Amino acid sequence: MKIQFTKMTGAGNDFVLVDNRDGRLRLRPDQIARLCDRHFGIGADGMLVAETDAKEDRIRMRYYNSDGGEASLCGNGARCFARFLQPLLPGSEGDPLIFLTGAGIVKASFLGEEVSISMPDPESARLRRLVTTRHGPLEVHWIHTGVPHLVVFVRDVERIDVEELGRELRWLPDFAPEGANADFVEVKGPDRIAVRTYERGVEGETLACGTGVTASALVAHLAKGLPSPVSVLVRSGESLRVGFERAGDGFRRVWLQGPATKVFTGEMEVSE
């Protein structure tokens, strides 16, 4: 079976994108994992599939992590998906472009080389929770931005062993059974942070994570007083921006903006 694909990157967070609006493609988790494999496949943090939702009469974005498991949302993936979708839909040059995700409707706007997307209203954050790690107690903050995230503030994000500590936090029994992504955040200025993220499903550090960037910015506002918008430096060296409005104890009108770039297109044979 041959698959036509587009490879895209959102600030270093990379994806395989496939147009399956006709519904002919049926991929198993092991096939998705093979496509995302960096040695035997195309290589990506995840896969994005465009489908037609007849009930809602809209395009649906389905997101799969590189292990083949499906997740409800990927922020950088949604920005890449919007850029991928734009030339496929006649008359979609105007803003906003709207599509469905597992976390609800996303609206995308195109700002030159960058794409801005609406993010789902996050669930109420739980701040300053002590958890036990092999290195002792650690203060973490929890927030759900389409997927669950733990946010940890550190003095120097470059000195953190993200693979080791991130893996431990990801599997903490406190957040079982689904676990959580782990974000390590250094406050760089009055409206600027640096973030490194260990992503579940990828099971390792990624160069950027859109939902993690969003989670980190919102928690930085709650715990450290940073105002909207927050500029976020990610591992790839790129910067993203997160804007929001406070709504009581929560947030509304959360948005994520940053680059979304096509890398190449191609065709790959996938064994059945």
pLDDT digits (tens, 9 = 90+) for 81-136: 999 999 998 766 666 899 999 999 999 999 999 999 999 999 889 999 999 999 89
Q: Specify whether 80 is catalytic.
A: no
Counting every residue written for the chain, the total comes to 272
Low-confidence stretches of the chain (pLDDT < 50) are none
Cite the annotated binding site for substrate by residue number: 13, 65, 75-76, 181, 199-200, 210-211
Q: How far is CA 84 from the centre of its chain?
A: 16
Q: Does domain 2-116+260-269 have CATH number 3.10.310.10?
A: yes
Work out whether strand 104-111 and strand 114-119 pair parallel, antiparallel, or are unpaired. Answer: antiparallel
CATH class of 123-257: alpha beta
Residue 44 has what pLDDT? 98
| Domain range list for the chain | 2-116+260-269, 123-257
Residue 93 has what pLDDT? 65
Residue 1 has what pLDDT? 87
Place of tokens 């890449």: 80
- Computed on alpha carbons and rounded to an integer, the radius of gyration of the chain in Å comes to 18
Work out whether strand 46-53 and strand 192-199 pair parallel, antiparallel, or are unpaired. Answer: unpaired
Residue 12 has what pLDDT? 97
Cite the annotated binding site by residue number: 13, 65, 75-76, 181, 199-200, 210-211
Same topology between domain 2-116+260-269 and domain 123-257: yes
Residue 176 has what pLDDT? 84
